[in-house]
Amino acid sequence: MEKLNCLIAGLPDSGKSTYLGALWYVTQNASGKIELALRASNENIPENTSLLEGLSRKWHNVEDMDRTSNDAPENISFLMCPKCSDDEISIEVPDFRGESIRQIITENQPSEFDDWCLKANHLLFLISDVRAGIYADDFEDDEEATDAAETSIEENQTDELPPILELDPKNITPAAQNILILRYLFENYRFKKIVICLTAWDRIIKENGGKAKDPEEYLKEKSPALYHFISYHFDDVKYFGLSGQGEEYEYEKTGDGDNEKKRVTEKCKKRLQKLTRDCQRAFVYDGISKSYDITLPIAEFLKEG
């Protein structure tokens, strides 16, 4: 059997760190609590587990993940196995904290990123923001206000050269950023199967009045161009809703002035830590049922296409 190499990727803030922290904790502590489709390989434990343990610690302590890192890209790789088999799935997460993947847009991503992509034959892609664009004009309720804005632009014209727009990739519409990244990956690498995880799924359910929602239908409704793009390029794609945190954190302020900080409230922390202990905090939803087995999106790659 060909070795499964799974690349976990997604834009910064797509929830990679939270998922990894939760995944590492759950696979180490689920025994006797919940059934998992995959287990961490005991035979081939990563040489250095400090990054995974660090993420896991932040997760079980209900702390925010570090959003940015100015250091060299930090990569994570580890092995997982189906529960009744010794077959291994290699999981690779290049620069899980950094901006490397967005550098695809500016065409200066580290070559290391492409090396990892080259090895992968399956893709788990995390998306947190599917917004399809906010066009200022469409948010003017008052037609006269739009005309006034246009007139103001005309009146402000001078003989000076107009300014030039320097496009910051961070400002590109979220749906378009995801299309660009996926397009690059599809164009340059071969993935047998892809799984799309729509993250912060607890928030989506909350916005939907607590009712379950099919992740595929959600993407189709909220970001049709991104959905059509994925469907056109991939026959074999599976969608999951994924909540790494379990629920949105509640914060309180501490300190004054420059020392003012925010931290997760004790009440929220206690509630989530109880769920953490029972391995009933992070969950996935595949459109049919909710499961605390967050290895399911990766286990999807073991299924025959």
CA distance 195 to 208: 23
Choose one: 33-41, 114-122, 127-135, 260-268; the region binding another protein (CB under 8 A): 127-135
- If the CB atoms of residues 2 and 142 are measured against another protein, the closer one turns out to be 142
Q: What is the largest CA-CA distance in the chain?
A: 75
Nearest-approach distance from CB 194 to another protein, in angstroms: 16
**236 touches another protein by CB under 8 A:** no
265-294: burial string, b at 16+ Cβ within 10 Å, e else: eeebbebbeebbeebebbbbbbeeeebbbb
Residue closer to another protein by CB (options 100, 223) is 223
Q: Minimum distance between the CB of residue 133 and another protein, rounded to whole angstroms?
A: 5
Structure tokens at 118: 């080259």
Distance between CA atoms of 145 and 147, rounded to whole angstroms?
A: 5
Per-residue x/- track, 201-220, another protein (CB under 8 A): -------------------x
- Name the residue nearer to another protein (CB basis): 183 or 290: 183
DSSP bridge partners of 261: 254
Measured in degrees and rounded to the nearest 5, phi and psi for residue 248 equal -70, 135
Residue 297 bridge partners (DSSP): none
> Least Å distance between CB 22 and another protein?
31
153 binds another protein (CB under 8 A): yes
Q: Is 237 in the site for another protein (CB under 8 A)?
A: no
C-alpha 190 chain-centroid distance: 21
172 binds another protein (CB under 8 A): yes
Distance from C-alpha of 219 to C-alpha of 285, rounded to nearest angstrom:
14
Please give the span between the terminal C-alpha atoms of the chain, in angstroms, as a whole number: 15
**Does residue 1 bind another protein (CB under 8 A)?**
no
> Shortest CA distance to 196 belongs to which of 180, 184, 177, 182?
182
Q: Judged by CB under 8 A, which of 65, 91, 105, 123 binds another protein?
A: 105
User: Residue 235, interface with another protein (CB under 8 A)?
Assistant: no
Question: Minimum Å distance from CB 204 to another protein?
Answer: 18
| Binding-site ranges for another protein (CB under 8 A) | 104-107, 132-138, 140, 146-147, 149-150, 152-154, 156-157, 160-169, 171-173, 175-176, 179-180, 183-184, 220, 223-225, 227-229, 231-233
